[in-house]
Amino acid sequence: MLETFHVQDPAALRAIAHPLRQRILMELAVLGHARAADLAQATGEPANSVSFHLRVLAKVGMIVEAPEHARDRRDRVWKNVAQSYAVEPGTPDAVRHVVRPALAWAEETFRRGSETGSREDRILALSTLVLTAEQAATMSRELAELLERWTARSLEEGRAAPQERRETYQALAVLAPRDLPPADEATGARTEDPGA
């Protein structure tokens, strides 16, 4: 099994952008392998819908059949090809297929949260930091390690107690230089974006 599947091709980007496919990949990571019926039960989706999404993931190479776990030749069992999936910055079409849907999800989640009041199981944190490139690289690694640690923990605990009710959570972390508006050459003052 690969440690990380680097999503680069447009078809794979479209595949991983779909929320149910993300959930299927997570359930397969927890279960190790599963049939469409198992995943339908875990996700609460109809088995025929799950089967369709499994075929999409298989077509782009993100999952493969696991015949060693099948009861017979007609039994289709699936497993992930990697422990994790990553979209690298600068990947063509990543903004359209991954970033925009993730930002729309975050906006909708927190819009609904503002209507129902705060909850301890979610956070929206926005900080302005003044960092050197080295400090930013360190912070990036630490954020990645934090997400990897919690991903591993959720998988281990999910495997240890699969009957325990769990919800699928998503975390979105972005650390990048914040471009300032251009300075007015005459005064040196920053000009504000009129659309902001």
CA distances (Å), 129 to each of 54, 180, 190, in order?
41, 13, 19
Convert the pLDDT of each residue in 104-124 to its tens digit: 888 888 787 777 766 788 887
Residues in the chain: 196
Ordered per-residue pLDDT tens for the chain, 196 residues? 787 888 888 889 989 889 899 889 988 988 889 999 999 998 999 999 999 999 999 999 999 999 999 999 999 999 999 988 888 777 888 888 888 888 888 888 878 777 776 678 888 788 999 999 999 999 999 998 998 899 888 888 887 887 777 777 778 888 889 886 665 555 555 555 444 4
Residue 34 main-chain phi, psi, to 5 deg: -165, 160
So what's the pLDDT on residue 58? 97
Please check whether residue 25 is in contact with residue 57, taking contact to mean a CB–CB distance below 8 angstroms: yes
**Which amino acid belongs to residue 119?**
R
So what's the pLDDT on residue 187? 54
State the DSSP code for 45: S
| Torsion region of 93: left, alpha or beta (phi above 0 gives left; psi -120 to 50 gives alpha) | left
In sequence order, what are the beta bridge partners of 80? Answer: 63
Hey, which CATH number is domain 1-104, 1.20.58.220, 1.10.10.10, 1.10.10.410, 1.10.357.10?
1.10.10.10
Structural domain boundaries of the chain?
1-104, 119-177
Non-local CB neighbours of 147 within 8 Å, separated by 6+ positions: 171, 173
Secondary structure of residue 146 in the 3-state scheme: helix
Please check whether residue 5 is in contact with residue 88, taking contact to mean a CB–CB distance below 8 angstroms: no
User: Residue 26 class from Cβ within 10 Å (0-12 exposed, 13-18 middle, 19+ buried)?
Assistant: buried
So what's the pLDDT on residue 67? 94
Q: Write down the residue that tokens 């990949």 correspond to.
A: 25
CA distances (Å), 35 to each of 39, 79, 96, 122, in order?
6, 9, 31, 31
